[in-house]
Amino acid sequence: MANLLEVKDLEVSFKTHGGEVQAVRGVTFSLNKGEVLAVVGESGSGKSVTAQTIMRLIACPPAVIKNGSIRFDDRTDILSLTDKQMEAVRGSEIGMIFQDPMTSLNPTMTVGRQIAEGLIKHQALSKSAGLDKAVELLQLVGIANAKERANQYPHQFSGGMRQRVVIAIALACNPKLLIADEPTTALDVTVQAQILDLLKELCDKLGSSILMITHDLGVVANIADKVIVMYAGKVVERGTARELFYDPKHPYTWGLLRSIPRLDTDDTMDLIPIEGTPPNLLNPPQGCAFAARCPYAMDICTTRQPEETAVSESHAASCWLMHSQAPKVDHGLMLGGANR
Amino acid sequence: MKKWKPLSLAAFVAAVLALTGCGSTASSPGSSTNGAGSQPKLAAAQTVNLLEPSDVEGFDPNIADEEITITAISQIFDGLTRIGSDGVTPEKAIASSWDISSDGKTYTFHLRDAKWSDGPAVRAQDFVFGWKRELSIDKYGFIMNMIQGADAVVNLDPKASAAEKQAKLDAVGIKAIDDKTLQVQLTAPTTYFLGLTAFVPFYPAREDFVTKQGDKYGTSAATLISDGPMQLSDWKQGSSWAFVKNANYWDASKVQLTKANYTIVKDQSQAVNLYDTKKSDMVYMLNADNTAHYRGTPDYHELSIDANYYAEFNPNSSNAVAAKAFKNANIRKAFGESIDRATFVKTILNDGSKPATGLVPPTVPGDPKAAGDFRTQNGTLVKDNDPTTAKADLQKGLQEAGLTINDLNSIHFLTNDTSTAGKLAQLITQMWKQALGVTISIDTVPQKIRVDSQHKGNFDICFAGWGADYADAMTFSDLFTTGNSQNDTKYSNPQFDALIKQAKAEPDNSKRAQELEQAEKLMLADGYISPVYFKGVAVIQKPTLQGVSFLPLGPDYDLKNAFIAQ
Amino acid sequence: MARFIVRRLLYAIVTLWVIITLTFVLMHSIPGQPFNNVDKMTPTILAHLNYTYGLDKPTYQQYLIYLNNILHGNLGTSFRYEDRTVNSIIGTGFPVSATLGFEALIFSVIIGLALGVYAALKHNTWADYTAITIAVLGVSVPNIVLGPLLSYYVGVKLGWLPTGEWGGFEYTILPSITLGMTSLAFMARLMRTSMLEVLGMDYIKTAKAKGLSNREIVWRHLFRNSLLPIVTILGPLVVNIITGSIVVEETFAIPGLGSSFVESITDKDYTVIMGTTIFYSALYILSLLLVDICYGFVDPRIRLAGGRD
């Protein structure tokens, strides 16, 4: 399968009065056509910054892209495009969905116009043709009375409906890649599944790849083909969804898995939060960033960064525990299906 | 009958000196052109541009009771007489001559061939109509109170019937013997009556025109006729008005100005800006803030006007301490003696005002047989800036009144809310504090409220001013007679009252002046009021504008002889 | 919408009535009388004048007579300028004040918004700081100071523009700047803050993600939404300009209603005080109503809420 997106050694920092905050510290991953890649991590792990850097939505200054490349659709580095060239990519080839549907729509513009805007710009449609297409898109994302609804304003829609509108905007021009930044976080649980289903269905239909930013492993399980886990601006583990759920290698991934409820087991297992807070990226630790919170941390963890160790062709993690001389530890997790 | 005789030469000189002698640089622009020497060349355009701080209230002379309106109207009307360029002497105007009866009570005026601006002749009947109209409208009617029967009209109950009012009006001693002869009957000989006939309330009004215009009389150029050097050509209410030369004026050949444009400019810094950018030829009555900038330039002049500003000490105050204190002559004296008038005039006013030395300001004529004006003749009656005496007097007074110095700290000073009045109150109370050790608090209120409280006697100490209604000491002395509505402190001295009454009936001018001088001495010695300054006026005037006469009372100035020099 | 407007108009009338009554009571409770020449007024003359003007009647009767006159659209005759009705004073003064106010409003809105937008788009650069410094200066220098300064330096020293008086367009420039400066500065600051706030909104990111150019984003999404808080202050702004014109008209010798108002207060000219107060209040109430309606047009959320009201 051909690579649609290839991010290599991406480093992004923010200049602040206190100094340079290293938000993304050498992130590498790739995404194939038609695939769904989930980026998982706590807030502050650099996942959103990574996503926004791909879209070049990040304001420079204060952000500085210090290193790395982002190759999209086998073309030149996105980071080297001019603003004008980038405008042609955004919306047309890469669409994006944001977290909060309540705020990601302009309150003073009709929904139809907001959808049509991108179409008019990228597909050189007339205003009325753009609006007609917008009505079709509203129907596509499952909004009844699309024609009337197109003339309404966002505040006349419920949260779930608004996210559908946002999806319609993002998918209006059949983008090759859809970046969804926590698309269900702000929604009611009952609506979340519907939205995810809709996303998956539409992307299948359109053949779009999805880069799903989330902290919710439930979402990952639902939708992702591949997963990368980020912590403190670095990828700590990568693999297929199956590998991650059934054979996690990084203590941080263990922690994440421990902290989600499972519906398929008895409530004998307590939910265990990860103790402590992520490190201050103004001065990232010398060794493994997770070491301070890691119950299995060894001396070396605080002094040297672990290398990425491959488990399989698709699975790898960065942890000293995977070193041949490291002691074997039991993470005590019930993994995969509730078969124990 | 005797022919009218001009003021004594001495009084005339004194008057001119008063106008010209204010500081080394100041000279009256009005008098300078009347001296010998070559007449300056006239400029091609004879237009003058002037500013006034508020609009004219109407050009009907019979409703005028306010300075700007009076000044404007006097440029376009002519009375029986007109004040000459010395600012004091009444000269022949519509009346070409007059006879005065030997008892000084009957005046017979002989009118010249003068015309109204619309053509018809000015007749004696026009004066009869105008003067009676003044009395019946009664805004400034009280100024005619020396005319027989005038008081009866003015004091008539407002609810009286029209017939009753007409009967009183018919009885007034104003009569047209024929078209050219006007006879006026006075209740007492009145030396200043001729001067008054130059004043706005005494202008003529033509019955046919006034009746035809009704309420619209004097509200626009179309509804006004006049008999003066100029006539109204345009009036944009609230913003500007303009006069043009009146071709029908009897003395038109002497009038050089062809046009006078007036703009209403309330803010004086704007007025000064307009002057500096040549949009205006004159600014009358500069504030202290602006005088310093122009003093020493040829544009700057200081004039004296007939106005006196004085402090009043109220023995009838509702404040028991103030009443008790000011019933005591020594305490009153102490307050008056401790004012440093020279400092006062210099630091607050700075406009040519002078420390007051008596009640009657300079230029007001006195005894015609003696030298000098009233003020020179009666000498300095005000004890100024004498803290030592003041302190001693205060001690004596406090003992007599059974008060302590701390008691006096409950006394209040009532003043206007204008900036000058505020500064003035600050300084005067500070002087009292320094000299007497008394802390007087200041009550600041709007002018109308100040006057209201003052006339009702609701004050401890107050600052008041009086501008002359006519060029005679009586206009000041009369205020302090028992029962006068302007007598705020309810001053009552039978001896003073008797002297004033005597002077009012006195046919001998010389004796009359002596009686008034004696009354002034008496009144000031009683000390219920303490004169502080004689008002001066600072004017800036373009050197090209010449021949303007500035008047110490009534209108501010007269443009009849003004012209623009090259 | 119609019901909303009718209801607001009813409120407006009640408000006006309260203002009329309060002004009447306050004015009559202050000592002093409305006639000229107070220094020389004798009790007889005062009695005559009070009789002529009906001021000898009990205050409640005067009040009822006044209310009745207002209902007939008659605001009375000035005490000082006896030939002038208050209606005619407003009729000649207001067009001048309105011209001045309108120019000042246009000036402050256009320059203020431009300055605010510019500052926000150049956020944290020297251009931003300069714009904000201008704005702070504009707010902190009152027009009673700015007017004379402009008149003197631009009018007298530089001689570029007339120092004052009222004539052609060149006469309106300095007063409009003076009158509009506070509003301009206020507007610039508010617009900048509002723009920065909207810039941080998610829907700006959405717009960017659509591939819109900066210019398209600024005009279609940023500007209109940033205007919302501006519209709310338009009411106070109009008042600011009305009350400001009272000072500015005096400073620049402009024959507007503001200077008549000031004069009437010092003169205690009852009818003119009442008339202009009523007129100003009505104007204010009306401008607030217009602002509310305007707001509905700019913000669809308010429009519907108002419609249901």
Given pLDDT bands bounded at 50, 70 and 90, which one contains residue C232?
Answer: confident
Contact A27, A234 (CB under 8 A): yes
**Which residue has tokens 């530089």?**
C158
Render the burial of B160-188: b for 16+ CB within 10 Å, e for the rest: eeeeebeebbeebbbebeeebbbbbbbbb
Closest residue in B to C252 (Cα–Cα):
B270
Kindly list the residues from chain B whose CB atom is less than 8 angstroms away from the CB atom of residue C52: 158
Q: Does C157 touch chain B (CB under 8 A)?
A: no
Instruction: Compute the distance between CA of residue B240 and CA of residue C256 in angstroms, rounded to an integer.
Output: 12
Range A20-49 average pLDDT: 85
Look at C276 and B81; give whichever has higher pLDDT: B81
Count other C-beta atoms under 10 Å from residue C90's C-beta. 21
Average pLDDT of the residues of chain A: 82
Q: Does C61 touch chain A (CB under 8 A)?
A: no
Q: What does CATH list as the number for C94-257?
A: 1.10.3720.10
Look at B553 and C291; give whichever has higher pLDDT: B553
Contact A40, A230 (CB under 8 A): yes
Q: Do C212 and A92 touch (CB under 8 A)?
A: no
Task: Return the structure tokens found at C49.
Answer: 């004048």
Given pLDDT bands bounded at 50, 70 and 90, which one contains residue B15?
Answer: very low
The full DSSP string for B230-243 is EEEEEEETTTEEEE
Interface pTM (ipTM) of the complex?
0.80
> Smallest Cβ distance to A91: which of C203, C210, C224?
C210
Range B433-444 average pLDDT: 92
Three-state secondary-structure class, residue C227: helix
Count other C-beta atoms under 10 Å from residue B44's C-beta. 6
**Which residue has tokens 């008086």?**
C165
Q: Indicate contact of A with C: 3+ CB pairs under 8 A.
A: yes
Contact C254, C151 (CB under 8 A): no
Q: Is the dihedral of CA A70, A74, A75, A76 positive or negative?
A: positive
Q: Does B201 touch chain C (CB under 8 A)?
A: no
**CA B406 to chain CA mean position, Å:** 40
Instruction: Compute the distance between CA of residue B31 and CA of residue B29 in angstroms, rounded to an integer.
Output: 6
| Angle made by CA atoms C24, B318, B408, in degrees to the nearest 5 | 120
Helix, strand, coil % over all residues of chain A, rounded to 5 = 35, 25, 45
Region of poorest pLDDT, from A206-210, B510-514, C15-19, C234-238: C234-238
Is the confidence at residue C306, as pLDDT, over 80? no
Q: Indicate contact of A with B: 3+ CB pairs under 8 A.
A: no
Given pLDDT bands bounded at 50, 70 and 90, which one contains residue B20?
Answer: very low
Nearest CA to A288 among A251, A244, A249? A251
pLDDT of residue B65: 77
Range C234-253 average pLDDT: 80
The half-sphere exposure of B256 on its side-chain side, counting CA atoms within 13 A, is 20
Q: Do C211 and A166 touch (CB under 8 A)?
A: no
> Smallest Cβ distance to A98: which of C202, C213, C214?
C202
Contact B521, B487 (CB under 8 A): no
pLDDT of residue B34: 42
Average pLDDT of the residues of chain C: 82
Residue type (1 letter), C274: M
- CA terminus-to-terminus distance, chain A: 36
Helix, strand, coil % over all residues of chain B, rounded to 5 = 40, 20, 40
3-state secondary structure A196-225: HHHHHHHHHHHCCEEEEEECCHHHHHHHCC
Identify how many contiguous H helices and E strands chain A contains and give both numbers: 11, 11
The full DSSP string for B82-136 is EE-TTSS-EEESSEEEEEE-TTS-EEEEEE-S-B-TTSSBP-HHHHHHHHHHHHH
> Smallest Cβ distance to C36: which of B66, B141, B218?
B66
Kindly list the residues from chain C whose CB atom is less than 8 angstroms away from the CB atom of residue A114: 206
Given pLDDT bands bounded at 50, 70 and 90, which one contains residue B251?
Answer: very high
Instruction: Compute the distance between CA of residue C53 and CA of residue C46 in angstroms, rounded to an integer.
Output: 11
**Which residue has tokens 């622009």?**
B29
Contact B142, C46 (CB under 8 A): no
Given pLDDT bands bounded at 50, 70 and 90, which one contains residue C37?
Answer: low
Instruction: Compute the distance between CA of residue B197 and CA of residue A74 in angstroms, rounded to an integer.
Output: 109
Q: Do B58 and C37 touch (CB under 8 A)?
A: no
pTM: 0.76
pLDDT of residue C39: 62
Is the confidence at residue B348, as pLDDT, over 80? yes
Instruction: Compute the distance between CA of residue B150 and CA of residue B129 in angstroms, rounded to an integer.
Output: 14
Three-state secondary-structure class, residue A181: strand
Q: How many angstroms separate the Cα of B200 from the Cα of each of A267, B144, B205?
A: 109, 12, 11
Given pLDDT bands bounded at 50, 70 and 90, which one contains residue C120?
Answer: confident
> Smallest Cβ distance to A117: which of C205, C210, C224?
C210
Kindly list the residues from chain B whose CB atom is less than 8 angstroms away from the CB atom of residue C165: 263, 265, 274, 279
The full DSSP string for B199-255 is SGGG----HHHHHHHGGGTTSSGGG----SSEEEEEEETTTEEEEEE-TT-TTGGG-
Range B265-287 average pLDDT: 90
Instruction: Compute the distance between CA of residue C193 and CA of residue C181 in angstroms, rounded to an integer.
Output: 18
Kindly list the residues from chain C whose CB atom is less than 8 angstroms away from the CB atom of residue B159: 51
Q: Give percent of chain A with pLDDT exceeding 90.
A: 0
Q: Indicate contact of B with C: 3+ CB pairs under 8 A.
A: yes
Task: Return the structure tokens found at B346.
Answer: 């210099």
Look at A34 and B404; give whichever has higher pLDDT: B404
Instruction: Compute the distance between CA of residue C297 and CA of residue B132 in angstroms, rounded to an integer.
Output: 66
pLDDT of residue B321: 92
Task: List the subunits that have 3+ CB pairs under 8 angstroms with C.
Answer: A, B
Is the confidence at residue B303, as pLDDT, over 70? yes
Q: Does C3 touch chain A (CB under 8 A)?
A: no
Task: Return the structure tokens found at C117.
Answer: 């937008």
Task: Return the structure tokens found at B4.
Answer: 């009218």
Range C80-109 average pLDDT: 87
Given pLDDT bands bounded at 50, 70 and 90, which one contains residue C36?
Answer: low
Nearest CA to C225 among C207, C198, C202, C200? C198
Instruction: Compute the distance between CA of residue B207 and CA of residue B503 in angstroms, rounded to an integer.
Output: 37
Q: Does C224 touch chain A (CB under 8 A)?
A: yes
Given pLDDT bands bounded at 50, 70 and 90, which one contains residue A334?
Answer: low
Range A140-153 average pLDDT: 84
Instruction: Compute the distance between CA of residue A274 and CA of residue A252 in angstroms, rounded to an integer.
Output: 8
Q: Does B136 touch chain C (CB under 8 A)?
A: no
Nearest CA to B471 among B9, B70, B83? B83
Q: Does C207 touch chain A (CB under 8 A)?
A: yes
Instruction: Compute the distance between CA of residue B300 and CA of residue A97 in angstroms, rounded to an integer.
Output: 79
When scoring C122, C194, C206 by the number of chain A Cβ atoms within 10 A, the one with the most, hence best to mutate, is C206
Closest residue in C to B136 (Cα–Cα):
C48
> Smallest Cβ distance to B277: which of C42, C49, C163?
C163
Instruction: Compute the distance between CA of residue C171 and CA of residue B312 in angstroms, rounded to an integer.
Output: 47
Task: Return the structure tokens found at C57.
Answer: 């009647």
Q: What is the pLDDT of residues B121-157, one digit of tens each?
A: 999 999 999 999 999 887 778 789 899 999 888 888 8
Closest residue in B to C264 (Cα–Cα):
B54
Could you state, in order of their start, the residue ranges of all structural domains in chain C?
94-257
Range B227-240 average pLDDT: 93
Q: Which helix (H) or strand (E) holds B479?
A: none
3-state secondary structure C191-212: HHHHHHHHHCCHHHHHHHHCCC
**B3 min Cα distance to partner chain C (Å):** 33
Q: Do C32 and B448 touch (CB under 8 A)?
A: yes
pLDDT of residue B169: 92
Residue type (1 letter), A29: F
pLDDT of residue B330: 94
Contact B462, B451 (CB under 8 A): no
Contact C131, C115 (CB under 8 A): yes
Range B534-549 average pLDDT: 93
Task: Return the structure tokens found at A69.
Answer: 């490349």
Range A322-329 average pLDDT: 78
Q: Does C7 touch chain A (CB under 8 A)?
A: no
Range B171-188 average pLDDT: 94
Question: Which residues on neighbouring strands pair with residue A8, listed in sequence order?
Answer: A69
Nearest CA to B283 among B368, B331, B224, B351? B351
Q: Does C301 touch chain A (CB under 8 A)?
A: yes
Q: What is the pLDDT of residues A274-310, one digit of tens each?
A: 777 777 878 888 888 888 888 888 888 888 888 888 8
Q: Which helix (H) or strand (E) holds B546?
A: strand B545-546
Q: Do B446 and C44 touch (CB under 8 A)?
A: no
Kindly list the residues from chain A whose CB atom is less than 8 angstroms away from the CB atom of residue C205: 57, 96, 98, 104
Q: Do C43 and B485 touch (CB under 8 A)?
A: yes
Question: Which residues on neighbouring strands pair with residue B2, listed in sequence order?
Answer: B100
Average pLDDT of the residues of chain B: 87
pLDDT of residue B32: 42
Q: In residues, how long is chain B? A: 566
Three-state secondary-structure class, residue A122: helix
Peptide bond into A261 cis (omega under 30): no
pLDDT of residue B121: 95
Q: What is the pLDDT of residues A3-31, one digit of tens each?
A: 888 888 888 888 888 888 888 888 888 88
Q: Give percent of chain B with pLDDT exceeding 90.
A: 61
> Smallest Cβ distance to B138: which of C37, C48, C155?
C48
Q: Is the dihedral of CA B29, B31, B32, B33 positive or negative?
A: positive
The full DSSP string for B253-306 is GG----EEEEEE---HHHHHHHHHTTS-SEEES--HHHHHHHTTSTTEEEEEEE
Kindly list the residues from chain B whose CB atom is less than 8 angstroms away from the CB atom of residue C264: none
When scoring C121, C202, C214, C302 by the number of chain A Cβ atoms within 10 A, the one with the most, hence best to mutate, is C202
Q: Does C164 touch chain B (CB under 8 A)?
A: yes
**C111 min Cα distance to partner chain A (Å):** 24
Q: Does B219 touch chain C (CB under 8 A)?
A: yes
Given pLDDT bands bounded at 50, 70 and 90, which one contains residue B35?
Answer: very low
Count other C-beta atoms under 10 Å from residue C98's C-beta. 16
Q: Does C288 touch chain A (CB under 8 A)?
A: no
Kindly list the residues from chain C whose CB atom is less than 8 angstroms away from the CB atom of residue B210: none
Contacts with B, C 211-240, CB within 8 Å: none
